Amino acid sequence: MDVYRVSNHNQMDYNFDNMEPKHGKMLPCQDDRFDSGLDSLKEDELVNDIEELTMDDCSFDTPKDYEPWKTAVTEDGDTFLHLAIIHEATEHAIQMIKLSHKQPFLNVQNHQRQTALHLAVITEQPQLVEKLLKAGCDPRLVDDSGNSALHIACKRGSLACFSVITQNCERHLTSILSFPNYSGHNCLHLASINSYVSLVESLIQLGADINAQEPCSGRTALHLAVDLQNPTLVCRLLELGADVNSLTYGGFTAYHLTYGRQNEEIRCQLYEKTAQELRELPESESDVSDMEELDLSDDEMYDDIKFGK
């Protein structure tokens, strides 16, 4: 049976293969970090295991200079705080956060480079998101896909977590809104790709650049909305001031991307607003939809990234 192997080279070693667990139980390994927290809601025994390991094996009554629960990690790099959040052992997560105020422990990243803040957003726990931010968790840290906690909230459409993060990290909000993940998408791009119109509106109101270009082909949120054939999003972006004449690195406007696509509503909206000299396709290209095929995979790295036009 797979087990979590928890080890700390300096103070403790929980090797469940070589010693009998104090409570006669072992904690199964979670393979999918994005789903494990949600799935574990149905597994009361797992939650109890975390509670027992946290409270009994690593007592909070220990002196401050000896806190093994802060240094113990699983074979996946998860701390006890990570585990408590994943399995929604909320009370114990809150207690650990309180005892770690402004300490580096709050920003420990597991092997997927996820902090406790990332996991709180993934498991949709805005209460913990707020407590983590107020306790000193750094919202700028990114996971192994280059996503901050705010990127994840925008990608998943988590309105509650989005609100908590933007209200509690004003100092770093401008920089977080502007930087792209490793697939080249910033928060506005992610919200647009996933058609979360309310998040798009909120991001722009908070200062996100509506005309920011993703660094692979230079698409803006408006280009992405056309690619997705989303007339509602196209209309809202235009109302919010999106530049219809913005060109991709290949020289294409959003209107150019309507060629070969069937939505006449989008085509008409963009035709009226696009500068006359930018309505025709570049002479060397006959089919923009073939040339600039949209790839919205957030798992693939770009091979050729351009920084600017």
Angle, in degrees to the nearest 10, between helices 126-135 and 90-98: 10
Q: Do 150 and 122 contact (CB within 8 A), yes or no?
A: no
**Domain annotation covers residue 113:** no
- Within-domain flag for 66: no
SS3 281: coil
Say how many CA atoms lie within 13 Å of 140 toward its Cβ. 10
Q: Which of 207, 228, 218 is nearest to 185 (CA)?
A: 218
Say if 142 falls within a structural domain.
no
Q: Please work out, in degrees rounded to the nearest 5, the angle formed at the alpha carbon of residue 105 by the alpha carbons of 104 and 107.
A: 70
How confident is the model over 199-255, as pLDDT tens digits? 999 999 999 999 999 998 999 999 999 999 999 999 999 999 999 999 999 999 999
| pLDDT tens digits, one per residue of 154-207 | 999 999 999 999 999 989 999 999 999 999 999 999 999 999 999 999 999 999
Residue 70 lies in a domain: no
Domains held by the chain: number: 1
Residue 4 pLDDT greater than 50, yes or no:
no
Question: Which CA distances in Å does 15 have to 24, 68, 83, 141, 220?
Answer: 13, 14, 17, 30, 51
- 203 assigned to some structural domain: yes
31 — pLDDT class (breaks 50, 70, 90): very low
| Threshold 0.85, pTM exceeds | no
CATH number at residue 214: 1.25.40.20
Distance of CA 65 to the CA centre of its chain: 34
Confirm whether 163 is domain-assigned: no
Residue 69: the pLDDT is 86
Chain-centre distance of CA 218, in angstroms? 22
| Token pair belonging to 32 | 């999918």
DSSP code, position 73: B
As a whole-number percent, the residues of the chain with pLDDT over 70 amount to 70
Name the nearest CA neighbour of 48 among 76, 23, 82, 70: 23
- Tallying the residues shown for the chain, one arrives at 309
Work out the average pLDDT over 6-35: 36
CA dihedral of residues 173, 177, 178, 180 (deg, nearest 10): 130
* In contact, 195 and 187? CB cutoff 8 Å: no
Q: Which two tokens stand for residue 208?
A: 């996100």
pLDDT in tens, 116-141: 999 999 999 999 999 999 999 999 99
Half-sphere exposure of 298 (CA within 13 A, CB side): 20
Residue 189 falls within a domain, yes or no? yes
Residue 17, pLDDT above cutoff 90: no
Query: Could you give the 3-state DSSP secondary structure of residue 267?
Result: helix
Q: What is the C-alpha separation between 63 and 11, in angstroms, rounded?
A: 13
89-to-23, 36, 83, 176 alpha-carbon distances in Å: 18, 13, 8, 29
Q: Which residue has the higher pLDDT, 37 or 252?
A: 252
pLDDT at 282: 75
Does residue 35 form part of some domain? no
Task: Give the alpha-carbon dihedral of 18, 20, 24, 25, to 10 degrees.
Answer: -20
Segments of the chain assigned E as strands? 6-8, 12-14
> Can you list the pairs that 258-266 forms with residues at least 24 positions away whose Cβ atoms lie under 8 Å?
258/226, 259/287, 259/288, 259/289, 260/287, 260/288, 260/289, 260/290, 261/226, 261/229, 261/289, 262/229, 263/229, 263/231, 265/231, 266/226, 266/229, 266/231, 266/234
Higher-confidence residue: 8 or 81? 81
* Residue 279 domain boundaries: 180-309
Give 281's pLDDT tier (boundaries 50, 70, 90). confident
Q: CB–CB of 138/103 below 8 Å?
A: no
Q: Where are the alpha helices (DSSP H) in 6-122?
A: 33-39, 44-52, 68-71, 80-86, 90-98, 116-122
